[in-house]
A and B are shown apart, each in its own frame.
Chain A
């Protein structure tokens, strides 16, 4: 599904990613853990196409196609989805209006017809209900005045509606209490599918108790320094990131 080869990138002249290699198989749930400043969020932004970064070498391949030259919306239409660590507030745009516009924009980009309003409403209501999102929230401007938990549930709602193939979750657990974390994780787990891949980026092992990864990668100093099974996450929880920080130095 996703293959990242020798990816190096910098922001304002400061190197962040340093020859990163990573492969996520179709249907695989991969976790990336790492200390603060290791470049985890940068990696997620570069996959989604945020323009602030300068890629100095390497490729990001989605099913063999290099997506680095594509605009973020073109990547989204191909099935890339980034659940933001800090979802952006959009004043004046009702959540419902935004959901419909983004869903139909992706459909148009893929040559599909717009969803009819009744079909759209049904899809939104169903997804909102399972994520315990109050329908009134959908009338409010997107993310404006939403609590941390509401914002993260809204991200998962969008992921559910847009049905991407490659889901990147950037620190989805940050700022969530246990109840909110459980709801969000259940929403993600409901989307697990043999044809859909996940890249779950997190600082803490806690999230991985709810979203069980197939593979765990450790990231430090802009590259993947160790890969293993779920037991690797537990090891990190016990020993911290000390060993990896020095290894990558």
Chain B
């Protein structure tokens, strides 16, 4: 479908075009050119684009912040100090500061894992998503991880942080390639962004036959804009477990494009979003079963308070010939205030005839019977509610296999609930 754009460029779109022109002057690339053309054709996504129906980025993004410069020595030292207080998730820590991989802040890679400070050019993709195209066009840096075949890599923590006091934008990419039979667990943590910061990130995960990857994305700061694309490509018998934890970001959009390209591939996507204030958090999935006997599971939970808005769109596409596909999707939300909103849109597009696919979505308040039961046992109302909400979140986090990662997410959930309880009027 061709997008006809009758309206003039917004201020943000104009700035983005200038930024791309400056970047192109420094080193042209046909891949970037093609990506930026695609972005320009579509412009910033609006409600008219089905995949962005609940998140009108064109309206929300009044202006595009200037792109962050490469961090200098002072910025690196400042980041070192602030990172010291960020408890490690464990394993190997890699740091992407202001959109660039910084070796001086990163651990040496573990055996069997190669870390390249410049991600390879993004593979061409057929998806037309304008923000993913913008990410490819404007990407400043990031890193590429290659796990050699058969290797079981220890936990890798990638910390994405900001050094600037100014309101800046970063645009970066991470590529993770697992060789045949390799295993890896990666957590990407997004920290240190101020309210004026804008972040465009993408993670490209490719799994060779029999590879297994677990990935956690954790948005922990108050970035004004967080747009994150995850692209996963699975060969036969590969397994991919991904979890998204959204505790921050004024406007957060996570979009996941997973393709089960080989037979017997398995994908499990999960997430927990904690949304308060006037925040808006959108998770949009597109899972494509392109080969027979694949399995996909999606399990997402949202807790929405105050004037927050949650969005879950899950699209599962079963291509012709992807017989014996087994798909199940579930989205559940608890709304804590009359102004809180949740938009659920599960979707199945099945073009094969021998498949088992289902989806379900629920939205509701905390169960008053449960609250009363706990209160009748002596728990003050707020404690009773916090206990029920923590349990609701914990059941989502239980999908994270690594206990140390699950514990980090759980403690952040508790902290969010405690902040809320503290801030609530009596």
Which A residues are CB-close (under 8 A) to B379? 73, 101-102, 105
Within 8 A of B (CB), among A79-106: 81-82, 84, 87-88, 90-93, 98, 101-103, 105-106
A77 to B378 CA separation, bound complex (whole angstroms): 6
Which B residues are CB-close (under 8 A) to A109? 378, 380
Residue from B372, B383, B394 with most neighbouring chain A CB atoms (10 Å): B372
Asked if A51 is at the interface of the complex by the 8 Å CB criterion, the answer is yes
Q: Categorize the interface residue count of chain B.
A: 20 to 34
Asked if B370 is at the interface of the complex by the 8 Å CB criterion, the answer is yes
Is the beta-carbon distance between B387 and A101 smaller than 8 angstroms? yes
A72: contacting residue among B372, B388, B394, B395, CB under 8 A:
B372
Is the beta-carbon distance between B381 and A84 smaller than 8 angstroms? no
- Given A93-B387, A105-B383, A88–B377 Cβ distance below 8 Å? no
Which B residues are CB-close (under 8 A) to A82? 376
A98 to B379 CA separation, bound complex (whole angstroms): 9
Residue of chain B at shortest CB distance from A76: B378
Listed by A's residue number, 13 A-B pairs whose Cβ atoms lie within 8 Å are: A49-B375, A50-B372, A50-B376, A52-B368, A71-B380, A76-B375, A76-B378, A90-B374, A91-B391, A102-B379, A105-B379, A105-B383, A158-B377
Is the beta-carbon distance between A84 and B373 smaller than 8 angstroms? yes
Q: Categorize the interface residue count of chain A.
A: 20 to 34
A76 to B373 CA separation, bound complex (whole angstroms): 11
Which B residues are CB-close (under 8 A) to A102? 374, 377-379
Minimum CB–CB distance from A82 to chain B (whole Å) comes to: 6
A105 to B374 CA separation, bound complex (whole angstroms): 11
Which B residues are CB-close (under 8 A) to A128? none
Is the beta-carbon distance between B375 and A88 smaller than 8 angstroms? no
Which 6 A-B residue pairs are closest in the complex by CB-CB distance?
A92-B391, A106-B378, A102-B377, A72-B375, A76-B378, A88-B373
Asked if B369 is at the interface of the complex by the 8 Å CB criterion, the answer is yes
Question: Total contacts A to B, CB within 8 angstroms?
Answer: 77
Asked if B392 is at the interface of the complex by the 8 Å CB criterion, the answer is yes
Residue from B368, B380, B392, B395 with most neighbouring chain A CB atoms (10 Å): B380
Which B residues are CB-close (under 8 A) to A162? 377-378
Which B residues are CB-close (under 8 A) to A48? 376
Which A residues are CB-close (under 8 A) to B376? 48-50, 72-73, 75-76, 81-82, 84
- Given A49-B375, A87-B373, A93-B388, A101–B380 Cβ distance below 8 Å? no
Is the beta-carbon distance between B383 and A101 smaller than 8 angstroms? yes
A75 to B376 CA separation, bound complex (whole angstroms): 8
A158 to B373 CA separation, bound complex (whole angstroms): 12
Residue of chain B at shortest CB distance from A83: B376
A99 to B368 CA separation, bound complex (whole angstroms): 19
Which A residues are CB-close (under 8 A) to B370? 88, 90
Which B residues are CB-close (under 8 A) to A72? 372, 375-376
Minimum CB–CB distance from B143 to chain A (whole Å) comes to: 36
Which A residues are CB-close (under 8 A) to B383? 101, 105
Residue of chain A at shortest CB distance from B389: A92
A77 to B376 CA separation, bound complex (whole angstroms): 9
Minimum CB–CB distance from B300 to chain A (whole Å) comes to: 16
Within 8 A of A (CB), among B325-376: 368-370, 372-376
Residue of chain A at shortest CB distance from B392: A92
Residue of chain A at shortest CB distance from B383: A105
A90: contacting residue among B368, B380, B388, CB under 8 A:
B388
Minimum CB–CB distance from B356 to chain A (whole Å) comes to: 25
A81 to B372 CA separation, bound complex (whole angstroms): 12
Residue of chain B at shortest CB distance from A94: B391
What sequence of 0s and 1s flags, for each residue 157-172 of chain A, a beta carbon within 8 Å of any chain B beta carbon? 0100010000000000
A101 to B388 CA separation, bound complex (whole angstroms): 12
Is the beta-carbon distance between B377 and A91 smaller than 8 angstroms? no
Is the beta-carbon distance between B368 and A51 smaller than 8 angstroms? yes
Which B residues are CB-close (under 8 A) to A158? 377
B380: contacting residue among A50, A73, A75, CB under 8 A:
A73
Which B residues are CB-close (under 8 A) to A77? 378
Which B residues are CB-close (under 8 A) to A106? 377-378
What sequence of 0s and 1s flags, for each residue 37-62 of chain A, a beta carbon within 8 Å of any chain B beta carbon? 00000000000111110000000000
Residue from B372, B376, B380 with most neighbouring chain A CB atoms (10 Å): B376
A32 to B368 CA separation, bound complex (whole angstroms): 27
A50 to B375 CA separation, bound complex (whole angstroms): 9
